[in-house]
Protein backbone atom coordinates (compact mmCIF):
# COMPACT_ATOMS: atom_id res chain seq x y z
CA UNK A 1 0.00 0.00 0.00
CA UNK A 2 1.06 3.54 -0.68
CA UNK A 3 1.58 6.10 2.04
CA UNK A 4 -1.60 8.10 1.24
CA UNK A 5 -3.80 5.07 0.68
CA UNK A 6 -4.16 4.32 4.44
CA UNK A 7 -5.50 7.83 5.12
CA UNK A 8 -8.08 7.54 2.35
CA UNK A 9 -9.21 4.18 3.70
CA UNK A 10 -9.48 5.62 7.21
CA UNK A 11 -11.64 8.47 5.87
CA UNK A 12 -13.98 6.11 4.05
CA UNK A 13 -14.44 4.08 7.22
CA UNK A 14 -14.46 6.88 9.80
CA UNK A 15 -16.80 9.27 7.98
CA UNK A 16 -19.83 6.89 7.89
CA UNK A 17 -19.02 5.70 11.41
CA UNK A 18 -18.95 9.28 12.69
CA UNK A 19 -22.20 10.09 10.89
CA UNK A 20 -23.89 7.00 12.36
CA UNK A 21 -22.68 7.96 15.84
CA UNK A 22 -23.99 11.51 15.42
CA UNK A 23 -27.40 10.26 14.23
CA UNK A 24 -27.63 7.83 17.15
CA UNK A 25 -26.82 10.62 19.61
CA UNK A 26 -29.44 12.91 18.06
CA UNK A 27 -32.10 10.19 18.10
CA UNK A 28 -31.50 9.73 21.83
CA UNK A 29 -32.74 13.30 22.40
CA UNK A 30 -36.30 12.50 21.30
CA UNK A 31 -39.19 10.98 23.19
CA UNK A 32 -41.12 8.04 21.84
CA UNK A 33 -44.80 7.38 22.37
CA UNK A 34 -47.91 9.40 23.09
CA UNK A 35 -48.22 12.08 25.73
CA UNK A 36 -50.47 10.68 28.43
CA UNK A 37 -53.44 12.84 29.32
CA UNK A 38 -56.76 12.50 31.07
CA UNK A 39 -59.33 11.26 28.50
CA UNK A 40 -61.74 13.95 27.26
CA UNK A 41 -64.79 11.85 28.21
CA UNK A 42 -63.74 11.40 31.84
CA UNK A 43 -65.88 12.81 34.63
CA UNK A 44 -62.94 14.98 35.68
CA UNK A 45 -63.21 16.98 32.44
CA UNK A 46 -66.93 17.80 32.80
CA UNK A 47 -67.84 21.43 33.59
CA UNK A 48 -69.80 20.38 36.68
CA UNK A 49 -66.70 18.74 38.15
CA UNK A 50 -64.70 21.94 37.79
CA UNK A 51 -67.45 24.36 38.88
CA UNK A 52 -67.25 26.22 42.17
CA UNK A 53 -68.99 24.71 45.18
CA UNK A 54 -72.26 26.43 45.83
CA UNK A 55 -75.61 26.10 47.47
CA UNK A 56 -76.98 22.57 47.31
CA UNK A 57 -80.56 23.82 47.35
CA UNK A 58 -81.25 21.51 50.27
CA UNK A 59 -82.54 23.13 53.45
CA UNK A 60 -81.47 20.13 55.54
CA UNK A 61 -77.82 21.13 55.24
CA UNK A 62 -76.49 23.69 57.69
CA UNK A 63 -72.95 24.94 58.15
CA UNK A 64 -71.22 23.13 60.99
CA UNK A 65 -73.87 20.41 61.19
CA UNK A 66 -72.64 16.80 61.11
CA UNK A 67 -73.04 15.08 57.77
CA UNK A 68 -75.63 12.34 57.44
CA UNK A 69 -74.46 8.77 56.84
CA UNK A 70 -75.37 8.95 53.15
CA UNK A 71 -73.98 12.48 52.61
CA UNK A 72 -73.62 12.01 48.86
CA UNK A 73 -77.42 11.77 48.51
CA UNK A 74 -77.56 15.48 49.36
CA UNK A 75 -76.29 16.25 45.85
CA UNK A 76 -79.21 14.36 44.28
CA UNK A 77 -76.96 13.10 41.50
CA UNK A 78 -77.71 9.57 40.24
CA UNK A 79 -74.22 9.25 38.72
CA UNK A 80 -72.57 10.12 42.06
CA UNK A 81 -74.91 7.71 43.83
CA UNK A 82 -73.90 4.96 41.41
CA UNK A 83 -70.19 5.69 41.83
CA UNK A 84 -70.42 5.67 45.63
CA UNK A 85 -72.41 2.43 45.61
CA UNK A 86 -69.86 0.84 43.28
CA UNK A 87 -67.00 2.06 45.49
CA UNK A 88 -68.67 0.63 48.58
CA UNK A 89 -69.29 -2.65 46.77
CA UNK A 90 -65.74 -2.90 45.38
CA UNK A 91 -64.02 -1.69 48.56
CA UNK A 92 -65.76 -3.55 51.32
CA UNK A 93 -63.45 -2.20 53.98
CA UNK A 94 -61.69 1.10 54.31
CA UNK A 95 -58.43 -0.80 54.76
CA UNK A 96 -58.83 -2.30 51.30
CA UNK A 97 -59.41 1.14 49.79
CA UNK A 98 -56.35 2.48 51.62
CA UNK A 99 -54.27 -0.44 50.42
CA UNK A 100 -55.40 0.22 46.84
CA UNK A 101 -54.33 3.86 47.14
CA UNK A 102 -50.97 2.90 48.66
CA UNK A 103 -50.44 0.35 45.89
CA UNK A 104 -51.14 2.93 43.18
CA UNK A 105 -48.76 5.39 44.85
CA UNK A 106 -46.09 2.69 45.14
CA UNK A 107 -46.40 1.79 41.45
CA UNK A 108 -45.96 5.47 40.57
CA UNK A 109 -42.97 5.86 42.91
CA UNK A 110 -41.39 2.71 41.49
CA UNK A 111 -41.80 4.07 37.97
CA UNK A 112 -40.15 7.34 39.03
CA UNK A 113 -37.29 5.55 40.79
CA UNK A 114 -36.53 3.30 37.81
CA UNK A 115 -34.33 6.01 36.33
CA UNK A 116 -32.33 6.82 39.43
CA UNK A 117 -29.02 5.56 40.67
CA UNK A 118 -28.78 2.01 41.98
CA UNK A 119 -26.23 1.26 44.68
CA UNK A 120 -24.92 -2.11 45.71
CA UNK A 121 -22.60 -2.89 48.58
CA UNK A 122 -21.41 -6.22 49.90
CA UNK A 123 -18.90 -7.13 52.57
CA UNK A 124 -17.71 -10.38 54.00
CA UNK A 125 -15.14 -11.73 56.43
CA UNK A 126 -14.06 -15.32 56.81
CA UNK A 127 -11.46 -17.28 58.74
CA UNK A 128 -10.15 -20.49 57.25
CA UNK A 129 -7.38 -23.04 57.25
CA UNK A 130 -6.47 -25.02 54.16
CA UNK A 131 -5.80 -28.70 54.62
CA UNK A 132 -2.08 -29.56 54.42
CA UNK A 133 -2.96 -32.75 52.56
CA UNK A 134 -4.20 -30.64 49.65
CA UNK A 135 -0.58 -29.62 49.04
CA UNK A 136 0.90 -33.00 50.00
CA UNK A 137 2.47 -31.55 53.14
CA UNK A 138 2.58 -33.02 56.59
CA UNK A 139 2.94 -29.89 58.63
CA UNK A 140 -0.12 -27.89 59.56
CA UNK A 141 -0.79 -24.74 57.48
CA UNK A 142 -1.55 -21.48 59.29
CA UNK A 143 -5.04 -20.11 59.76
CA UNK A 144 -5.76 -17.05 57.64
CA UNK A 145 -8.40 -14.33 57.61
CA UNK A 146 -10.03 -13.19 54.40
CA UNK A 147 -11.99 -9.95 54.06
CA UNK A 148 -13.60 -8.82 50.86
CA UNK A 149 -15.88 -6.01 49.84
CA UNK A 150 -17.71 -4.82 46.79
CA UNK A 151 -19.36 -1.52 45.94
CA UNK A 152 -21.18 -0.72 42.72
CA UNK A 153 -23.16 2.15 41.27
CA UNK A 154 -25.32 1.92 38.18
CA UNK A 155 -27.53 4.37 36.32
CA UNK A 156 -29.98 3.67 33.52
CA UNK A 157 -30.00 6.38 30.87
CA UNK A 158 -33.44 7.20 29.51
CA UNK A 159 -32.30 7.45 25.89
CA UNK A 160 -35.65 6.85 24.21
CA UNK A 161 -38.01 8.07 26.93
CA UNK A 162 -39.02 4.63 28.18
CA UNK A 163 -38.65 5.52 31.86
CA UNK A 164 -40.43 8.86 31.48
CA UNK A 165 -43.30 7.23 29.59
CA UNK A 166 -43.53 4.52 32.24
CA UNK A 167 -43.90 7.15 34.97
CA UNK A 168 -46.53 8.99 32.93
CA UNK A 169 -48.46 5.77 32.37
CA UNK A 170 -48.33 4.92 36.08
CA UNK A 171 -49.67 8.36 36.96
CA UNK A 172 -52.46 8.36 34.34
Q: Taking the domains of the chain in order of start, what are their residue ranges?
A: 79-116+162-171, 117-155
CA 86/CA 108 separation, integer angstroms:
24
Q: What is the per-residue burial (b if ≥16 Cβ within 10 Å, else e) of 11-50?
A: eeeeeeeeeeeeeeeeeeeeeeeeeeeeeeeeeeeeeeee
Start-to-end CA distance of the chain, whole Å, equals 63
Task: Give the per-residue pLDDT at 148.
Answer: 94
Task: Give the per-residue pLDDT at 128.
Answer: 92
CA 114/CA 153 separation, integer angstroms:
14
Task: Give the per-residue pLDDT at 13.
Answer: 77
Under-50 pLDDT residues of the chain: none
Amino acid sequence: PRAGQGRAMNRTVLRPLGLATLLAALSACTTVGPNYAVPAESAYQRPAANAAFGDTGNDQVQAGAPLPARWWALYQDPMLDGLIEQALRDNVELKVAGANLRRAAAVYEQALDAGGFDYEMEAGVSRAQVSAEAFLQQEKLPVFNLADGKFGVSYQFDLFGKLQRGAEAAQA
